[in-house]
Chains A and B, each alone.
Chain A
Amino acid sequence: MISKEEIKHIADLSMLNLSEAEIEKYTENMKDIVEFANSINSLDTDGVTESAFALDSYNVFRKDEIKESFDRDLLLSNAPSSNGEAYSLPSMTV
């Protein structure tokens, strides 16, 4: 089961400020999600090899060849703020 404390912890890790009402709401939402995911436990997995992937695919590699990078202005235009060269943020301890 999901507790309000867990929701607060996850929000903290993502640096989200949630109001008390939001915490209530997300706790309920998350309960539904986890319950839905838990339904997988009802499957009989005896004799099935453990795997992290659904596809039988492996070794998807690329050659070590340089491709042209992206236009910087275009990349920076995705950010709320930049100085024309770098993404600009409120002060972090560097």
Chain B
Amino acid sequence: MEYEVVIGLEVHAELSTKTKIYCGCSTEFGGAPNTHCCPVCTGMPGALPVLNEKVVEYAVKAGLATGCTIARESKQDRKNYFYPDTPRAYQISQFDLPLCEHGKIDINTDGLEKTIGITRIHIEDDAGKLAHDNYTGGTLVDLNRAGVPLIEIVSEPDMRSAAEAVAYVEKLKGILEYIGVSDCKMQEGSLRADVNLSLRPVGSEKFGTRTETKNLNSFRAIARSIEFEIARQKEVLESGGTVYQETRRWDDEKGEGYAMRTKEEAHDYRYFPEPDLMPIRLSEEYIHHIEEHLPELPESRKARYMNELGLPEYDAGILTSSKHLSDFFEAATAACGNAKAVSNWIMVDIIRVARELGVEYDALPFTPVQLAGLIKLIDNGTISSKIAKEVFEEMVNTSKDPEKIVEEKGLVQISDESAIKEVVDRIVAANPQSVADYKAGKDRALGFLVGQCMKEMKGKGNPQILNKLILEHLQ
């Protein structure tokens, strides 16, 4: 039987506020264990949480950027569960009155546009971290992350493949980066996704039983866990079995998903209104003010790159897929005035380098101004584009200015006609057979002669002048 895959995602994004959601402890990543903690975020009885106003502002920004309706009246609720990463024995979340509802974002996979619905966005606090204690075999609890603000973005079950799910998360990540509400560093866990997935016979209206795979923190893990779960459910259904509604985990090293033991997921959250936190009421003016001050979103930047800078749609899409990359592009273009060249360097070399080094685009070993400097050196004829590649690699390795690399390595392009002519004369004289071939109509022989001259000049000859001189010589 042919099956259709139905996928909905819950994405958790840590908000980039300076302090936690209900206390003034720092949200900074990587502090010594339990040093960003106080009675509120460690769940001491009697401690009173007070909501950070930036959390509301950031959640509303995220809602507006994804086309949501913003609730004029909202509240927070206790979600009760007993686990040592949550010292209060409840998470403060939102149950029936989330801040944002009914949004959507457009994704593009293989050139096909599709709209994915957003059910809701609500605010909640993150849990602490558990680690295995190698000395005692027990478990250690670090509550630095406990109380860091999160938004949970719940999608409609609108996705039909791993590729669509990845495109959705990429798009969402881009939007959150652009509006500056989350740094979306997946490797640090500040953006992670839960995948709800079910299969149904093609043509069927009714959804099949879904499973939820939790806490996926890379695009690769999202894609692989989905492929795994599709294959698993298909096998179960085809052998006449039943898919059980269950919570699952993904082991990225083994490339396998597994069901959590039922005891672990025996959840009955017993939500009730959080009595320590008063309702949130948002005025028209407040919402309007945030809407008016939303930064330019990726869609709009993409259109601008195509219309004003004349870049192809594909390139504009890649450049705007990450805010850091897009900012890099804009800074470099502003510094050298050659948008097409900057775009080409990014598409061909910079994306590759970032991938090889495993860094985000705001942590490249060279600055946008240095890339602009390199492009200027090509544009004003100081170096050839072939030499530029060599200079670029050196920039990657040493972070030095391109002008300095060119000077130190003596890479300045030779544009002096008499110097080039001297080499041309020598090479042509030494290769009579190629000259004869060229005269007999074999164009390849010209390429060979140019190559020999370039080799002689260690790649530094100005290619236009070199070509011109060889042709003159041969005629």
Contact = CB atoms under 8 A, between A and B. Distances in A.
Chain A interface mostly: loop
Nearest to A92: B139
B38 A52 contact: no
Contacts, number: 131
Interface residues of B, number: 53
Interface string B109-147: 000000000000000000000111101111111110000
Given A13-B268, A15-B82, A62-B24, A91 B38 contact: no
A94 B53 CA distance: 33
Contact of B19 (A9, A66, A85): A66
A36 interface: no
A83 interface: yes
A92 B273 contact: no
Interface stretch (B169-177, B275-283, B373-381): B275-283
A66 B36 CA distance: 10
A86 B53 contact: no
A85 B35 CA distance: 9
Interface in B15-52: 17-19, 23-26, 32-39, 42, 44, 50-52
Contact of B139 (A9, A52, A63, A89): A89
Interface stretch (A20-28, A40-48, A69-77): A69-77
Given A13-B81, A58-B281, A64 B52 contact: yes
B141 A89 contact: yes
A72 B142 CA distance: 11
A40 B345 CA distance: 71
A70 B131 CA distance: 22
Interface of B: 17-19, 23-26, 32-39, 42, 44, 50-54, 56, 75, 80-82, 84, 89, 130-133, 135-143, 264, 266, 268, 270, 273, 275, 277-281
Interface of A: 9, 12-15, 52-53, 55, 57-70, 72, 75-76, 78, 83, 85-94
Given A58-B281, A69-B25, A89-B84, 15 more contacts: A13-B82, A13-B266, A15-B82, A59-B281, A63-B52, A65-B24, A66-B19, A69-B37, A78-B42, A78-B44, A83-B133, A86-B34, A87-B140, A89-B138, A92-B139
25 contacts: A15-B82, A52-B273, A52-B279, A55-B278, A60-B50, A60-B51, A62-B51, A62-B52, A65-B18, A66-B25, A67-B23, A67-B38, A69-B35, A69-B38, A72-B34, A75-B34, A86-B131, A86-B142, A87-B140, A88-B136, A88-B138, A89-B139, A91-B132, A92-B139, A93-B264
